[in-house]
Amino acid sequence: MIYLASTSPRRKALLKQYGIPFQTLQPVYEESNKSSLSPSRLVRTHALEKGRSCAASVRNGVILSADTIVYLNGKVIGKPKNQKDAFKILRSLQGRWHKVYTGVALIHIQAGTIKRKSLFSEVTQVKLKRMSETDMKQYFQKINPLDKAGAYAIQSKKPNIVETIKGSLTNAIGLPMEAVLKQYGRLKI
């Protein structure tokens, strides 16, 4: 059994889309993006700690946890604090290339004990279209930017604000499914 240590509707939708049965757990972990860690190490650390925070509630199975950040010019961009912050973030990203990092932890638990862990991260490059203030207001009426790293939903097609993407789309959504399936297979459960 896979236990998803996440409340993200996007991660749930991806697992359903791929036909993977799972149960949801709510991690108890406070992320901090104020770190000297590299972006890939930071997301792996957050993913692992989210998974570990749920380990006591699993007797047998695999905990799947993840963390996603946006990275621009040496700075980590997480979820906006409020609507004003969302506008500021989207202004900084539009018309420019940035990176979306997702860290993933797969924690195999047997008889209530952690047996194996697999940690990895993926990176996707994204360039957003240029937008006017009116475009941004209309966009935020269609999506909630406050629960999304970078204040945008790459999977939203109405309107599509992405100009170009290089790499895994599912990674930019919040869970690199191709890599997850590969690593899950390597756990040999």
Positions annotated as catalytic residues are 67
Q: Which helix (H) or strand (E) is 128 found in, with range?
A: strand 113-128
User: Is the omega angle on the peptide bond into residue 159 within 30 degrees of 0, that is, cis?
Assistant: yes
User: Cα–Cα distance between 88 and 83 in angstroms, integer?
Assistant: 9
C-alpha torsion sign, points 167, 86, 14, 186: positive
- Give residue for tokens 């599912």: 170
Separation CA 107–CA 25 (nearest Å): 13
Q: Pairing between strand 61-72 and 75-77?
A: antiparallel
Q: DSSP letter at 94?
A: B
